[in-house]
Amino acid sequence: MDGIVSAFMEVAVWGTPDRILKKLDERRGIVGDFELATSFRFGGTPFDLAESGLRLYAKEVLPVVRSWTKAG
């Protein structure tokens, strides 16, 4: 089971806004433009924590990702 968890954590995009943007940009470099499917609440994450993550993502990550599509 440890290998499955490790593999998931490697391909999942998570962390600070800077880490998320770095991972998304790396992926974009490999596969080109792609659509995002995000989840902020899973595994029993409390609603307030999920909401704060979503708000941070909307403030710090989405504007940068949107600029990528406008530039292309």
pLDDT at residue number 2: 82
Q: Read off the pTM.
A: 0.83
Q: What is the pLDDT of residues 2-24, one digit of tens each?
A: 889 899 888 889 999 999 999 99
Number of structural domains in the chain: 1
Q: If pLDDT is split at 50, 70 and 90, which confidence band does 71 have?
A: low
For 13, the domain range is: 2-71
C-alpha dist (Å) from residue 5 to 46, 47, 48: 21, 24, 25
